[in-house]
Amino acid sequence: MSDTIGILGGGQLGKMLYLAGANLALDMHLMDSMSDGPAAKICKQYHIGDFMDYDQVMKFGRDMNVVTIEIEKINVDALKDLESEGVKIYPQPHLIAMIQDKGLQKKFYEHNKLASSRFKNYKTIEDFKIDLSKGEWTLPVVQKIRKGGYDGRGVNILKTDSDFNTAFQADFLIEEKVAIDKEIAVITCSDPSGNIIAYDPVEMVFDPVNNILKYQIEPADINAEQVTAAKDLAVSLSKKLGIVGLLAIEMFLDQDGEILINEVAPRPHNSGHHTIEASQCSQYENHLRAISGLALGDPATMTPSILINLLGEEGHVGPVVYEGLNEILSISGVHVHIYGKAETKPNRKMGHITITDSNIDRLKEKYETVVKTIKAVTKS
């Protein structure tokens, strides 16, 4: 009999996991407190429950053979206890706990001699100021809260003394500011026997004005040695962690051509959405295969792709409509994913679009058309 798989989280990543698992008729249950989130609309075995709550995670997990996550902000104590009761938990709870804390993540890279920017953990800004005055740091530096940051919300650049007034007060780390040439990401997937696959690197291209992700492209505009180095670094990190399932590794290529690990996520990741259409086997399907002991799928790229997040337009809050949807649906190689969130608000992730074409110039032309045509807005 096949495993009963429990997935904590019913957002868009939960929805896409569920869709991938449905192809293999896997027995999947999801839990999320949202009763109308992206996965709730399609998943039959949907449990309303809070994945931050110890008792609710225990109750949900006890009926499963294997439990996984689509978000790392979950109750790890419950996952540790479920693991000791014999439920398989992938990724393993001690790894989720470590990854939840950017200070511990950085210590792991340092301890294992994996390339990453210099850092130090601090409790107060006063402590940092002492080190600064001793010459241990020179401004600008990057301040990050250790826990709970996402979408850049826990990241601050400290350029001058006046920035200390607005610095984060929670436990934080300071990192050397990397002279970034490109931001890239590699996703790996490991099974319990130690087999591992790695997808080709994607490149994140940011808007120089507002620093929001413009698009992601695969292949990344890096040379063959850099592709190999990025994948080798990702595989080496995944092996050292001993993680089962997906690991998304965000990296910087610095202006000296060196590749540094920025941070990781132990789950399906935005930087792997394109694998649904552009790879032989998607990140979602590979994760489910890995955690349920099925053979891993081929990560090979089938076509170049560009991915954009479909974000809620500025100035629009309320029930969503998608302007320009029909126009882009008629373009060959435009793959639209609407997450099914009822309400839009500025910059909310409402969906994503993967654009494919064997020719990079045509791919970029299609991207230009798509980006100026589709809008997530409220009815006027």
Instruction: Catalog residues that contact Mg ion under the rule CB under 5 A.
Output: 250
Helix (H, G, I), strand (E, B), or coil: what is residue 44?
coil
Nearer to Mg ion, 152 or 257 (CB): 152
Residue sitting closest to Mg ion (CB): 250
Nearer to ligand ATP, 83 or 250 (CB): 250
Strand partners, 17: none
Q: Which residues make Cβ contacts (< 8 Å) with residue 228, sequence separation at least 6?
A: none
Span of 22-30, 178-186, 190-198, 318-326 interacting with ligand ATP by CB under 6 A: 178-186
- Establish whether the linkage from the previous residue to 201 is cis, with ω within 30° of 0: no
Nearer to ligand ATP, 212 or 300 (CB): 212
Tell me how far, at minimum, the Cβ of 215 lies from ligand ATP, in Å. 14
Tell me how far, at minimum, the Cβ of 133 lies from ligand ATP, in Å. 21
Residue 360 CB neighbours (<10 A): 13
Tell me how far, at minimum, the Cβ of 72 lies from ligand ATP, in Å. 11
262 forms part of the interface with ligand ATP (CB under 6 A):
yes
Tell me how far, at minimum, the Cβ of 52 lies from ligand ATP, in Å. 18
Among Mg ion, ligand ATP, none, residue 212 binds (CB under 5-8 Å by kind): none
Structure tokens at 248: 């998304």
Query: Is the CB of residue 294 less than 8 Å from the CB of residue 343?
Result: no
Cα separation, 66 vs 379, in Å, equals 43
Q: DSSP per residue over 143-160, as a string?
A: EEESBS--TTTTEEEE-S
Amino acid at 120: K
Q: Which residues make Cβ contacts (< 8 Å) with residue 56, sequence separation at least 6?
A: 31, 49, 50
Residue 165 CB neighbours (<10 A): 7
Among 175, 200, 285, 313, binds ligand ATP (CB under 6 A): 175
Nearer to ligand ATP, 149 or 293 (CB): 149
Nearer to ligand ATP, 62 or 73 (CB): 73
177 forms part of the interface with ligand ATP (CB under 6 A):
yes
Among Mg ion, ligand ATP, none, residue 140 binds (CB under 5-8 Å by kind): none
Nearer to ligand ATP, 183 or 277 (CB): 183
Among Mg ion, ligand ATP, none, residue 358 binds (CB under 5-8 Å by kind): none
Tell me how far, at minimum, the Cβ of 26 lies from ligand ATP, in Å. 28
Among 101, 171, 263, 343, binds ligand ATP (CB under 6 A): 263
Cα separation, 77 vs 89, in Å, equals 12
Query: Is the CB of residue 203 less than 8 Å from the CB of residue 222?
Result: yes
Q: Are strands 334-338 and 259-265 parallel, antiparallel or unpaired?
A: unpaired
Structure tokens at 280: 């032989």
205 forms part of the interface with ligand ATP (CB under 6 A):
no
Among Mg ion, ligand ATP, none, residue 52 binds (CB under 5-8 Å by kind): none
Structure tokens at 69: 């996550």
Cα separation, 91 vs 93, in Å, equals 6
Nearer to ligand ATP, 14 or 21 (CB): 14
Cα separation, 123 vs 125, in Å, equals 7
Among 163, 171, 181, 250, binds ligand ATP (CB under 6 A): 250
Among Mg ion, ligand ATP, none, residue 324 binds (CB under 5-8 Å by kind): none
Tell which positions 109-168 bind ligand ATP, by CB under 6 A. 117, 142, 144, 149-155
90: left (phi over 0), alpha (psi -120 to 50) or beta: beta
Residues making contact with ligand ATP (CB under 6 A):
117, 142, 144, 149-155, 175, 177-178, 180, 183, 250, 262-263
